[in-house]
Amino acid sequence: MMPIDFPVEDDSPDRSDVLSGVVPDRPDKPEEACGVFAVYAPGESAAKLTYFGLYALQHRGQESAGIATFTGNQVHLHKEMGLVSQVFNETILNELPGELAIGHTRYSTTGSSRVVNAQPAVVDTRLGPLALAHNGNLVNTPELREELLQNNHNLVTTTDSELIAFAIAEEVNSGKSWLEGAISAFHRCHGAFSLAIGTPEGIIGTRDPNGIRPLVIGTLPPANSADPLRYVLASETCGLDIIGAEYLRDVEPGELVWITAEGLASFHWITQPQPKLCIFEMIYFARPDSVMNSESLYTYRMRIGRILATESPVEADIVIAVPDSGVPAAIGYSQASGIPYAEGLIKNRYVGRTFIQPTQVMRESGIRMKLNPLKDVLAGRRVVLVDDSIVRGTTSRKIVKALRDAGAIEVHMRISSPPVTHPCFYGIDTDSQDHLIAATKSVQEIAAQIEVDSLSYLSWEGMLQATQENPEHFCSACFTGDYPVGIPEPLKRSKLMLETKRPALETVTPV
């Protein structure tokens, strides 16, 4: 059976096209912006622990990676374009001494794809250097940039992350301590920011007042039993698991944690935080083995599959997933409907992981993701195809055609999230609104375009019900347009359609 090529518009983007300097097609799935990791681990190589932490967080950014370590007032930095396994080797890690490290994996949502924009961002202050790793996006970047330029800062990158680092330096250089300076700078930032900041004295971790992007705290046992615990920060719990760290708790929205030789101290720099965790982290971005809201995302995604089956039943012979991200919801759909689950599409997991210096020929093959339909499973069957989202719809159409070519007699698509109608301004790379298929087309029109026999989305209520949390505690703006942090007009105009072309919002509409 010949593999069928699909563009890299699925859940596992290969950013080697970016490395080659060729502008790729826009992906058909939103892409996560960054992963951050930090560790203070006396008696261990902090750089090596950080390497493995970043390795587990690779799905959060595949464009560049970096680690900064501290020995006293000296910072040691290595960052490059590429995957974590390409950027670091044993020799490089041995040249990053110290017990305190900050790490970052990046996919650019602000600033271009150049090594100068890779993180951690390192800036000097009167108290010594700081190294900052950021996940999220500020919405007041132009204003903050203008303020800093007026104060004669020598900005060298085009990222909002560097602006936060310079804002902290500015506050510290005005006579404040690390903590006072950081808190003053955080108040100047609006938008999404989960940060890990290394200093010669310790690590600062924080989340914006809405906690839009995740950040968790873990512990490692001390090297000697009389010593205090050693602390780790990571975007997701999978970054803790890989180094054997125990999950302690989330960094709370508007909280600052200060990790030093004395242990961990906590400060709240906002009196009334309003939690708004990005719901797309739960539906799709974060790894299924990561834990959020006290359960694995695998369990959450199975539950949304069960709700989807209840909301949108259909007569069919098998349930299959678009691998890998659609798998848990497809299993949940199968459990609730009683329709057997089968593997109908096999993904070549190693595509996009073999590049070092892509040539044109390599790039052309590398920007295709190979999914191989299993003819034996599909031929003569009525198929329920479960995916986590449709953004532009181009990949869905190709997959549906591949299933029919393999002999499927009916294809009923079920999406385990509501229609994506609005772009993200908080650190996820979505297309502008006019390119989002659900922003301009009805469910029936989308079904016709991707050529399925029926199409249904999870309802917004169903998605929130599945969280088993207060629905007010989530950002779901890409489904509703209800942005928790106000978007300034010029930024709005850059991505939002001036007039809505979308038909009235349907929740679930089997065709």
Asked if residues 11 and 30 have their Cβ atoms less than 8 Å apart, the reply is no
SS3 label, residue 149: helix
Kindly determine how many residues on this chain lie close enough to bind ligand SF4 according to the rule CB under 6 A: 11
Distance CA(63)–CA(106), nearest Å, equals 6
**Looking at beta carbons only, is 36 or 477 nearer to ligand SF4?**
477
CB of 387 to ligand SF4, least distance (A): 17
The residue among 199, 14, 18 whose CA lies nearest residue 120 is: 199
| Cα(235)–Cα(157) distance, integer angstroms | 23
CB closer to ligand SF4, 185 vs 192: 192
The reply on whether position 478 binds ligand SF4 by CB under 6 A is: yes
Token pair recorded at residue 307: 């709700």
Which one is catalytic: 34, 278, 424, 478? 34
Indicate if 278 belongs to the active site: no
CB of residue 472 to ligand SF4, shortest distance in Å: 13
Check binding of 212 to ligand SF4 (CB under 6 A): yes
Least Cβ distance, residue 419 to ligand SF4 (angstroms): 12
Of 318-326, 388-396, 398-406, 421-429, the window that binds ligand SF4 (rule: CB under 6 A) is 421-429
Q: Which of 122, 279, 321, 437 binds ligand SF4 (CB under 6 A)?
A: 279
DSSP calls for 286-303:
S-TTSEETTEEHHHHHHH
Shortest Å distance, C-beta 280 to ligand SF4: 4
* Paired residues of 98 in beta bridges: none
Smaller CB separation from ligand SF4, 39 or 391: 391
Helix pair angle (297-311, 327-337), 10° resolution: 50
DSSP symbol at 473 = G
- Tell me how far apart the alpha carbons of residues 409 and 396 are, in angstroms, rounded to a whole number: 17
According to DSSP, residue 281 is labeled I
Q: Are strands 410-415 and 454-457 parallel, antiparallel or unpaired?
A: parallel
User: According to the binding rule CB under 6 A, does residue 204 interact with ligand SF4?
Assistant: no
Which one of the spans 3-11, 167-175, 248-256, 475-483 is the region binding ligand SF4 (CB under 6 A)? 475-483
**Residue 87 or 390 with smaller CB distance to ligand SF4:** 390
Nearest to 204 by CA among 246, 245, 249, 265: 265
457 in contact with ligand SF4 (CB under 6 A): no
User: Which residue, 186 or 284, has its beta carbon nearer to ligand SF4?
Assistant: 284
CB of 425 to ligand SF4, least distance (A): 7
Q: Which of 168, 278, 292, 319 binds ligand SF4 (CB under 6 A)?
A: 278
Work out how close the CB of 495 gets to ligand SF4 at its nearest, in angstroms, rounded to a whole number: 11
Pick from 121, 322, 424, 437 the residue near ligand SF4 by CB under 6 A.
424
Cα-trace Rg, the chain: 23
Q: Check if the beta carbon of residue 337 is closer than 8 Å to that of residue 313.
A: yes
Cβ at position 235, least distance to ligand SF4 in Å: 14
CB within 8 A of 245, min separation 6: which ones? 218, 219, 220, 232, 234
Identify the residue among 40, 88, 193, 426 touching ligand SF4 (CB under 6 A). Answer: 426
The strands making up 410-415's β-sheet, listed across from edge to edge, are 318-321, 382-387, 410-415, 454-457
Tokens found for residue 365: 């093959």
- The answer to whether residue 475 forms part of the interface with ligand SF4 (CB under 6 A) is yes
Does the protein bind ligand SF4 through residue 487 (CB under 6 A)?
no
Regarding 476 and contact with ligand SF4 (CB under 6 A), the answer is: yes
Q: How far is the CB of 31 from ligand SF4 (least distance, A)?
A: 10
270 or 278: CB nearest ligand SF4: 278
Cα separation of 234 and 50, whole Å?
10
Nearest-10 crossing angle of helices 297-311, 460-467: 140
Where does 57-104 have alpha helices with state H? 84-87, 90-94
The answer to the question of residue 477 lying near ligand SF4 (CB under 6 A) is: yes
390 is a contact residue toward ligand SF4 (CB under 6 A): no
Determine, following the binding rule CB under 6 A, whether residue 439 of this chain makes contact with ligand SF4.
Answer: no
Q: Which is nearer to ligand SF4, 181 or 423 (CB)?
A: 423
What's the burial of 183, exposed, middle or buried (CB within 10 Å: 0-12/13-18/19+)? buried
Q: Residue length, the chain?
A: 511
Q: Are 230 and 40 in contact (CB under 8 A)?
A: yes
In whole angstroms, give the CA distance from residue 102 to residue 234: 10
Residue of 37, 166, 280, 300 interacting with ligand SF4 (CB under 6 A): 280
Nearer to ligand SF4, 386 or 477 (CB): 477
CB of 426 to ligand SF4, least distance (A): 4
- Closer residue to ligand SF4, CB minimum distance, 215 or 345: 215
Binding site for ligand SF4 (CB under 6 A): 212, 278-280, 424, 426, 428, 475-478
Would you name the residues annotated as active-site residues? 34
